[in-house]
């Protein structure tokens, strides 16, 4: 069985800045809080005594920088972990998007990972699902005994969560909760066994005791 630690990058908007949808076409760096989140993540992993590697990220600055700051090492870049191009939503506030397409569509994606149709998102749904399937297969085939750490975006993490059908079903049912959302600087632990992925924990702040218990389970 292979355990993998996924994490979402840190903040890319400073306090008071207008937050907009940022995807593949918005290569923003981490702001001060985002850098602090990266340090806290690395500190938690070390305090938990986890032996980690390799480090992998998507190609955008916010994911590469997060792991570099956390572990003082450059991650391997995997283009299959690149953020989604949010098409018509890119660069717009959630309020503006919701006013045009309806709050229900925005919430369905944000909380439950329901793909919005006809919004110009790229790549297409089939390609994204195939990419994540390939990434999971590659991680499962590793011979190292260390725990891989993968940093990507919230959009891509939803496709990781969907690999666990039971977890995804729970996310779909949580209309009033956070569902499948992942906050900046939060992490998710999964196990891969015989090609099947199981979500062990999701969207949790990095805490040494929690990480240590997960790694040893």
Query: What residue ranges define each of the domains in the chain, with the CATH number in brackets?
Result: 2-216 (3.40.50.1240)
**Average pLDDT of the chain, as a whole number:** 94
pLDDT-based confidence at 178, cuts 50/70/90?
low
Bridge partners (DSSP) listed for residue 189: 5, 201
Position 172 pLDDT exceeds 90: no
Position 45 pLDDT exceeds 80: yes
Q: Alpha carbon 64 to chain centroid distance? A: 13
Q: Alpha carbon 1 to chain centroid distance? A: 21
d(CA 32, CA 117): 35
Q: Alpha carbon 77 to chain centroid distance? A: 15
Contact 2, 191 (CB under 8 A): yes
Q: Which class for 94: exposed (0-12), middle (13-18), buried (19 or more C-beta within 10 A)?
A: middle
Query: For position 175, what pLDDT does the model report?
Result: 45
């Amino acid at each position: 069985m292979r355990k993998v630690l996924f994490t979402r990058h840190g903040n890319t908007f400073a306090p008071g800045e207008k937050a907009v949808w940022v995807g593949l076409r918005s290569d923003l760096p981490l702001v001060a809080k985002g850098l602090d989140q990266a340090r806290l993540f690395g500190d938690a992993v070390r305090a938990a005594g986890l032996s980690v590697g390799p480090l992998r990220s998507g190609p955008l600055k916010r994911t590469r920088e997060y792991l570099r700051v956390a572990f003082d090492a450059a991650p391997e870049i995997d283009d299959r972990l690149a953020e989604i191009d949010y098409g018509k939503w890119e660069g717009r506030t959630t309020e503006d998007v919701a006013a045009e397409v309806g709050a229900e569509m925005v919430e369905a994606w944000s909380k439950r990972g329901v793909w919005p149709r006809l919004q110009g998102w790229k790549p297409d749904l089939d390609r994204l699902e195939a990419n994540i399937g390939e990434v999971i297969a590659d991680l499962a085939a590793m011979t190292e005994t260390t725990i891989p750490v993968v940093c990507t975006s919230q959009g891509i993490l939803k496709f990781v969560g969907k690999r666990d059908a039971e977890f995804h079903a729970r996310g779909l049912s949580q209309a009033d909760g956070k569902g499948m959302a992942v906050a900046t600087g939060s992490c998710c632990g999964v196990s891969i066994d015989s090609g099947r992925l199981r979500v062990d924990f999701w969207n949790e702040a990095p805490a040494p005791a929690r990480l240590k218990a997960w790694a040893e389970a």
